Amino acid sequence: MTALVLDRLTKLYGDHAAVDALSLTVAQGEFLVLLGPSGCGKTTTLRMIAGFVEASQGSVSLSGRDITRDPPHRRNIGVVFQNYALFPHLSVFENVAFGLRRRKRPEAEIRTRVARALGLVRLDGFADRSSKQLSGGQQQRVAIARALVIEPDILLLDEPLSALDAKLRLEVRQELKALQRLLGITTILVTHDQDEAMSLGDRLVVMHAGRVEQIGSPQQLYREPASRFVASFIGRGNFLEGTGTGHSFTTRNGWTLAAARPLDRAATVLIRPESITLAPTAGAAMVPARVALVTYLGPIAEVALELAGGDRLVVEQASGGWLDGVEPGREIGVGIPPEAVVGLGAEGVAGA
């Protein structure tokens, strides 16, 4: 079932389109993540859904109803911001009760629902505290409880974890994921952190300059990025430029790679660092390459290689074994499995 539909949603500031004819559909219960670099229009999109920013063109429909021109308080949307935005002069209880009081719910119902919401974010017993007496993680939990207590049709989260330190961010991230699953609430989160996006999202929307660059599951975006922009934004990659012909690709430096899929339209190929195989010597299906640098990162070693024609690769391998003794300057063998060669088109055009 569809929860939210954005149809050619656009925000113009002067003649600059901060969001440019963005269309997407969010399913009931889905966790969708808007991901992209600073200034790509993520926050503006979220604010148009919430009603804090007026759309210039296009529409927003929630649960089958066009809400494009509705004021924020009539949209039944829960919003959590990066900076908590709690009312400092109110207790935790009153912060969470705020939306219910605005809706003029009876006192007994408010007590029950606030207690339930605080229980969900593991803050039972904190109701009477002043919100100033809370840690950052606790404040963000209160903000989540405040958004959930109104039983919104959709939960919007604008970089909700970025003000927390690294350890707490992971903790609250896991709690958020568990809570979203438990309640089955349709959720949209904005972030520029790819790890956060990959670990939370059922689907990710990668945005670039106000437009959707690609939508897909974390696995799809990682394995089959539609453009170099997506490939470099999600994970790390080796990018080799050249020309594709049938099931092969020849780099500008003259190295020909076999590919599992036809690459006739590809101008660049992506090879993920962990998909490359190394051997102590060149041989069958292993071409010679010179080691430029080996960096040990605990369980993984990162090996920078240079091939005879000048192509360079970064490879990630499990450390240990023969790789331990390898010094820069040594020649080893490198193999690229054909299925690891992913074609990308010219910038902005989906590859083969």
- Interaction site with ligand ATP (CB under 6 A): 13, 18, 36, 38-44, 192
Q: How many Å apart are CA 62 and CA 77, to the nearest integer?
A: 9
Residue 21 or 326 having the CB closest to ligand ATP: 21
Least distance from C-beta 347 to ligand ATP, angstroms? 20
Q: List the strands of the sheet with 248-251, edge to edge.
A: 256-258, 248-251, 238-245, 268-271, 342-344
CA atoms within 13 A on the CB side of 154: 29
Nearer to ligand ATP, 4 or 40 (CB): 40
* Cβ-based nearer residue to ligand ATP, 58 or 244: 58
57 Cβ neighbours under 8 A, 6+ residues apart: 8, 9, 10, 12, 21
Helices (H), the chain: 42-50, 92-102, 107-120, 136-148, 166-183, 194-200, 218-223, 228-233
- Give the shortest CB-161-to-ligand ATP separation in angstroms: 13
Q: Nearer Cβ to ligand ATP, position 37 or 338?
A: 37
Instruction: Closer to ligand ATP by CB, 41 or 201: give it.
Output: 41
CB of 157 to ligand ATP, least distance (A): 13
Residues 206, 211, 213, 215, CA torsion sign: positive
Shortest distance in whole angstroms from residue 77 CB to ligand ATP: 17
**Nearest distance from residue 287's CB to ligand ATP, in Å?**
42
